[in-house]
Structure formats: structure tokens, C-alpha cells
Structure 1
């Protein structure tokens, strides 16, 4: 399993951050690997909502289904999966002055033959983690 974690601060208050981040279709704005992310279904975004995500990582395109598995006033969590990988993205948001402190943690588990790529996956996702932090700060500070 590969674990990537970043902690950073942004200007908006936690409620604003959570309202934005709970809709995973916004990943196209803050996740550098996401090329498209479309919600399955309609209605309010809530635990159980799902998205079809297309990403390109290290030149390889992949598609995952993401599900919102936890939504509280301080946490947003998504689980994504396909035949070769499962990811859990946990975003904890707490007050920090007039803004928010965010801890973003991604746990990626490869399966089958893809498991052999785990050391490479760690290197790639460390870079993506830094890029995600930079993009997320920029996007959230515009809210």
C-alpha cells in the first residue's frame, strides 16, 4: 500500500471547504491527474454518491468509480476502485484562524499484476501529492 499525506492551510472556513470538496467532480480543478470526473445520478451530494473518474498518471490512463463514503463537518472521504487499484482519499478540515487547516491523505493499494508497480506508484504519487496540494490551495483560496 502507498500512503501520501499533506497538511496545509487555506483562507476559507471549514464549512466552505467541505461544501466544495464533497462534490468530487471538482477534482478536475485540483487533482492534476484527473482529466474528467462526472457524477453518476443526481440530487444532493451525500454519502453514497458516486462519480466516474478518468485520470492520466505517468502517461497511463485509468478509470475509477469513486464513492463518497464519509461526510461530516470536519471530514470528506472518497473510495475509488477499478480492477487494478483501490484508493481511499481522506480530507480532514479543521479551523485555523479565520481559515482552515487541511490534511489530505491518499492510500493507494494495487492489486493483481499491478502490485508489482507499487514502488513506482509511491514515487509518482509523492509528486502528484505535492502538485495536488499546490492546486488545492490555489482553488480553495479563490472560493
Structure 2
């Protein structure tokens, strides 16, 4: 299993940041691996909501089905899966001021079958991607606010 974690400040009130990130379709804006992410169900965003995610990693494209499994005022949890990997994304929110939120982003990948053998060789790449999230997510939020 590969696990990465980053904590950083985002210039947005906690409730607004939670509402923005609760729509996993926004990963197109802030996740460096996501090429496309489309909601596959209807209705309000709540646990059980689903998305079809297309990601590119090391030149290869992969498809995952994601679902929102937990939604609270200070925590979101998503699980994505396909035949070779289960991805788990947890986002923790702490209001630092009325306009600033500390976001802790945790991602883990559990490879299945023979793909498990590649995990130790992929850790550095996932660490790099997590660093890019720290750069891209605050910028995506700022662009959202300017639109």
C-alpha cells in the first residue's frame, strides 16, 4: 500500500472549501493525475454519490469508479476502485480563521493482484503528485472564487 499525506492552508472558509471538494468532479481542476471526472448519479451530494474518474499516471490512462463514503463538516472521504487498485482519499478540514482553512489531504492506494509488486517502485511518483496537489488545489479554489 502507498500512503501520502499533506497539510496546507487554503484561503477559503471551511464550509465553502468542504462544499467545493465534496463534488469530486472538481478533481479535474486540482488533482494532477485526473484527466476527467464525471458524476454518474443524480441528486444531492451525499454519501453514496458516484463519479467516473479518468486518470493518467506514468503515460497510462486508467478508469476508476469513485463514491463519496463520508461527508461531515470537517471531513470528506472518497473511495475509488477498478480491477487493479483501490484508492482512498480523506480530506480533513480545520478552520484557522474565518477565511482560511487548514486542509489535510490523505491518499492511499492498495494495489490488487500482480500490481501489488509495483507499489514500492511507485511511491516516489505518488509523493510528487501529492506535492502537486498542494500547489494546484489552492490555485483552483482561487480561480473558482474569481469566476
TM superposition score normalised by structure 1? 0.97
Whole-angstrom CA distance in 1 between matches of 2:127 and 2:88: 15
The offset of 1:97, in angstroms, is 2.0
| Partner residue, 1:104 | 105
Secondary structure of the 2:69 match is: strand
Secondary structure of the 2:139 match is: helix
Deviations 1:47-82 (A, max 9, x none): 000000000011111000000000000011100010
1:22 corresponds to 2:22: yes
Whole-angstrom CA distance in 1 between matches of 2:138 and 2:55: 20
Secondary structure of the 1:128 match is: helix
Q: After the TM superposition, which residues 119-130 of structure 1 pair with which residues of structure 2 at under 5 Å, given as runs? A: 119-130=120-131
| Partner residue, 1:43 | 43
| Partner residue, 2:86 | 86
1:117 corresponds to 2:132: no
Deviations 1:10-36 (A, max 9, x none): 111110000000000000000011001
Secondary structure of the 2:29 match is: helix
Whole-angstrom CA distance in 1 between matches of 2:132 and 2:65: 22
Q: Which runs of 5+ in 1 are unaligned?
A: none
Secondary structure of the 1:114 match is: helix
Please report the RMSD computed on the Cα atoms of aligned residues, expressed in angstroms.
Answer: 0.8
The offset of 1:138, in angstroms, is 1.0
TM superposition score normalised by structure 2? 0.94
- Residues matched between the structures, number: 143
